[in-house]
Amino acid sequence: MAWLAGAVPDQGPFWRASAIIVAAGWGRRLGLGVPKAFVELCGRPLFYYPLRVVETIPEIFEAILTVPAGLEAAAEELLAGMEVNLPVKVVAGGERRQDSVEAGLRLVSAESELIVVHDAARPNAPSEFFRSCLAAAAQWGAALCAIPVADTLKRVEHDVVLGTVPRQGLYQAQTPQAFRASLLKAAHDKAKAHGWEVTDDAELVERLGAQVRVVEGSAHNLKITTKHDLVIAEILLRELKSKS
C-alpha cells in the first residue's frame, strides 16, 4: 500500500473503531428490480463483502449497515444466514447518501474513536484500504482512498467542448474513508445546520477546514453502478478467490 502524503503513520496505542456500510441506494441504473446492495455477486448480496472485510480488522468492534427504509427486516434476515462474526446494527437510510451516513452515525457507540465509512457498492475493497485509512485518520484526523485521474477531462456545455481541464493533481475519490469520530459528527452537524449537500463525507470535513489525507486506492475498487460494472466486479472477485 503506497501513501501519497507523508510517511506511513504508526498505529500507536490501540484505538476502537466503528464501520458504517452505506447500502441504502436503490440502484435504479442497474435495472434489476431490487436495491443495489441486495443484488447478488457470486451468490451473496453486495453488502456481505465489506462486512466480511471489516470483521477481520481487530480495531473495528461494530458495523452499522444502512439500508432502504422498509427493508431493515429483510437485511437482518440475510445477515442471520451469513458468516459475519461482528455485531451489525441495521438502520434505515435516507434519500441522500449523507442522510444515510447521518442515520448510521446515530447508532455509533460512544466509545468509538474512529469511524470508517464505505459504500457497499464497492465490494472489492481489500482490508489494507480500511487499515491504511484508519491509521491515517488516527494520526491526522481524516483520510480517503483515491486514485489519480487517468483520462483527459473536458468541460462540456450543451454537447460542446468549452475547454480541457488539466488533470495534474486531480484524484478520483473512493471509499473507504475514515475519520476521527468527533470530527465526522461535527461535520454532519454543521452540514445539517447550513443545508450543505455533498456526495462524500470527506467534502464535509474539508468544509470544516480540516485536512484530509489521501491513501492510494485501486481501479479494482470500482463502484457498481451498471450491469457492466457488476460483471467486472464478479470477474475481479473470482480472480481474487482463485489466488487466495
| Per-residue pLDDT, 1 | 34
pLDDT digits 0-9 by tens, 48-107 = 999 999 999 999 999 999 999 999 999 999 999 998 899 999 999 999 999 999 999 999
The strand ranges marked E within the chain are 17-22, 40-41, 44-45, 60-67, 88-92, 114-119, 142-148, 153-157, 160-165, 171-180, 213-216
**Residues 6+ away with beta carbon under 8 Å from 170:** 148, 149, 153
Number of structural domains found in the chain: 1
pLDDT per residue as tens digits for the range 108-123: 999 999 999 999 999 9
Number of other CB atoms surrounding residue 151 within 10 Å? 7
HEC string for 96-138 = CHHHHHHHHHCCCCCCCCEEEEEECCCCCCCHHHHHHHHHHHH
d(CA 18, CA 105): 9
Would 172 be classed as within a structural domain? yes
In a domain, 1, yes or no: no
Instruction: Tell me the whole-structure pTM to 2 decimals.
Output: 0.91
Asked whether residue 183 is assigned to any structural domain, the reply reads yes
**Which residues constitute the domain of residue 50?**
17-243
pLDDT at res. 77: 95
Residue 12 included in any domain: no
Whether 117 is in a domain gets the answer: yes
Q: Which of 209, 204, 232, 211 is nearest to 121 (CA)?
A: 232
The radius of gyration computed from the CA coordinates of the chain, to the nearest angstrom, equals 18
Task: Give a yes or no: residue 10 inside a domain.
Answer: no
Residue 121 near residue 36, CB atoms below 8 Å:
yes
pLDDT of 243 reads 67
Largest distance between two CA atoms of the chain: 54
Mean pLDDT value of segment 150-167: 95
pLDDT at 187 over 50: yes
- For the range 209-213, what are the long-range contacts, defined as Cβ-Cβ under 8 Å and sequence gap of 24 or more? 210/141, 210/142, 210/183, 211/140, 211/141, 211/142, 212/141, 212/142, 212/143, 212/144, 213/5, 213/6, 213/136, 213/137, 213/140, 213/142, 213/143, 213/144
Taking residues 164-174, what's their average pLDDT?
95
Sequence-separated (6 or more) residues with CB below 8 Å from residue 237: 41, 42, 49, 123, 124
The per-residue pLDDT for range 120-145, each reduced to its tens digit, is 999 999 999 999 999 999 999 999 99
Domain of 40, CATH number, reads: 3.90.550.10
In a domain? residue 7: no
Q: Are strands 153-157 and 142-148 parallel, antiparallel or unpaired?
A: unpaired
Q: Does residue 152 form part of some domain?
A: yes
Mean pLDDT of 13-23: 90
